[in-house]
Every structure is written in C-alpha cells, then in structure tokens.
C-alpha cells in the first residue's frame, strides 16, 4: 500500500513539474517577440548615438507640433529610443517615451512643458515634475490627465536639473506650454546606477479622487503618440508623423 502511495506521489510531482515547465515555456514564447524588439531598439539607439547627424530624420525637437492637430508639443530634443509598451527586460512594459539627447552631457538639453497645466513637484522628488491638465478635450474627451517628466538630476542624485522656480514642495503652479521645466539628466533613482542621459515622458491617468495614478503601471498611462502626433516609420523608429 505504501509503495502505491509513493508511486502516486511521484506521478503527481511529475505532472506538476510538466505543468510548471509548460507555463514557463508559454511565458517565454509570449515574451520573446517583445524582448527581440527590445534588442533591435537598443541596436538602433547605438546607431543613432554613433552619428546623430546622419540620422536627422530620427530626431525630434523640443517645441515641435508634429502634426497641425497634435494637442501637445514635443517636450525635449533627441531620439525616442523606447516607446510605450516596449520591453527591454522580462516582465517589463514601458509606460511612456524615453527621449535621449545627443549632447553627451547632463544639464544641457532643455525639457519643456508639453501643454498648459498645473505643475506639482513633491517634496521628495529630485528629478521629476508632473503637470495636471483638467478637462482635456482632445483625445480623451474631457477627462483630466497628467504629463510626467523625470530623470532631470545628476547620476548620484545630489544635483537637480529642475528649473529653480519649481522647488520641492511646489503644488498646482500654473505653467504654459513651452515653459522651461529643467534639463535632461541621468538619475535612475538609485545612486551608482545611472541611466543614459534622457527624459522619460508619459501621459498619466487620474485616479477616482482626482490625483495622479501610479505612472510605473502601463495601464495607468496613455500612449504619448496620441497627444504628440508621433508614429513608427518603416524602420520601427518613433518619429513625428510625416517626417
């Protein structure tokens, strides 16, 4: 009797192992296209950094309105290396745009407000600001949305590149589209682990209470392309429509 139970136990273990293995395999199959696309994007980013002048058609410019009816301005200069939904590690889906400068130095490439709104910089934010846009009629039919701008600080987080008129603790300060917010930096949130010099820009949904939702969750964001007039060209590069 004990032998039969032992055999059954081994069979159950085998079935469980097969089910787990199948689940991991299916997960890998689902993730593989995204990760492959991420590899291609990194390769394109390296190509652009090697000679930005040769890829001028890949570059976006601060203050540009990509199409006549695009509601928002491009918030900075550079190359949109990663878009919303892109993935460059397992389990990750990017919530906005990463726009990389070719300047080669932090605190050099301006970041501007994409649209009129009310700016907040929380007391503990070193590199980020968020702007509230109430009653946004275009694209979202009158909903309140937010635009989020981050990585505007030095690699060690000790120097903020946010414009001085927006100190920590700023709340609901009106800014016009095109207002200088700061400059691109490489603060990742962790000292000693800098990012490349870039701006992370996202369009964030409101919570039911009227605050900003958690921007790191892609489901709490909209595709910036809808607001900036951006499209992917034949090479898969995010560019202004028609460029």
pLDDT in tens, 176-219: 999 999 999 999 999 888 989 999 999 999 999 999 999 999 99
Q: Please, are residues 190 and 208 in contact by the beta-carbon 8 Å criterion?
A: no
Going along the chain from its start, the domains and CATH numbers come out as 35-240 (2.70.70.10)
The DSSP line for 142-195 is TEEEEEEEE--B-TTSSSB-B-TTS-TTEEEEEE-TT-EEEE-B---SSTT---
The DSSP line for 67-127 is STT-SS---BSEEEEE-TT--SSTT----SEEEE-SSSSSS-SEEE-SSSEEEEE-TT-SS
Distance CA 215, CA 130 (A): 10
Buried b (16+ CB within 10 A) or exposed e, 43-54: ebbeebbeebee
Q: Give Cα 77 to chain centroid, integer Å.
A: 15
pLDDT tens, the chain, 243 aa long: 444 445 555 545 544 444 444 443 443 433 344 445 568 888 888 988 899 998 889 999 999 999 999 999 999 999 999 999 787 667 678 889 999 999 999 999 999 999 999 999 999 999 999 999 999 999 999 999 999 999 999 999 999 999 999 999 999 999 999 999 999 999 999 988 898 999 999 999 999 999 999 999 999 999 999 999 999 998 889 999 866
Distance CA 207, CA 192 (A): 33
- What's residue 18's pLDDT? 46
């Amino acid at each position: 009797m004990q032998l039969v139970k032992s055999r059954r136990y081994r069979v159950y273990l085998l079935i469980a192992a097969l089910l787990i293995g199948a689940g991991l395999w299916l997960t890998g199959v689902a993730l593989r296209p995204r990760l492959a696309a991420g590899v291609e994007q990194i390769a394109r980013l390296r190509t652009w950094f090697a000679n930005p002048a040769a890829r001028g058609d890949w570059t976006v410019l601060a203050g540009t309105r990509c199409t006549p009816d695009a509601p928002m301005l491009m918030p900075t200069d550079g190359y949109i290396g990663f878009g919303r939904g892109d993935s460059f590690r397992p389990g990750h889906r990017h919530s906005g745009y990463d726009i990389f400068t070719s300047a080669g130095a932090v605190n050099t490439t301006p970041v501007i407000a994409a649209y009129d709104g009310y700016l907040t910089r929380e007391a503990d934010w070193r590199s980020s600001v968020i702007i509230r846009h109430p009653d946004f009629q275009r694209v979202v039919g009158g909903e309140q949305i937010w635009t989020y701008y981050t990585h505007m600080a030095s690699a060690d987080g000790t120097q903020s590149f946010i414009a001085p008129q927006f100190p920590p603790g700023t709340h609901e300060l009106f800014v016009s589209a095109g207002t200088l917010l700061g400059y691109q930096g490489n603060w990742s949130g962790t000292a000693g682990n800098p990012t490349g010099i870039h701006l992370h820009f996202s369009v964030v949904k409101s919570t039911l209470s009227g605050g900003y939702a958690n921007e790191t969750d892609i489901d709490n964001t909209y595709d910036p392309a809808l607001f900036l007039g951006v499209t992917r060209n034949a090479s898969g590069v995010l560019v202004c429509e028609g460029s």
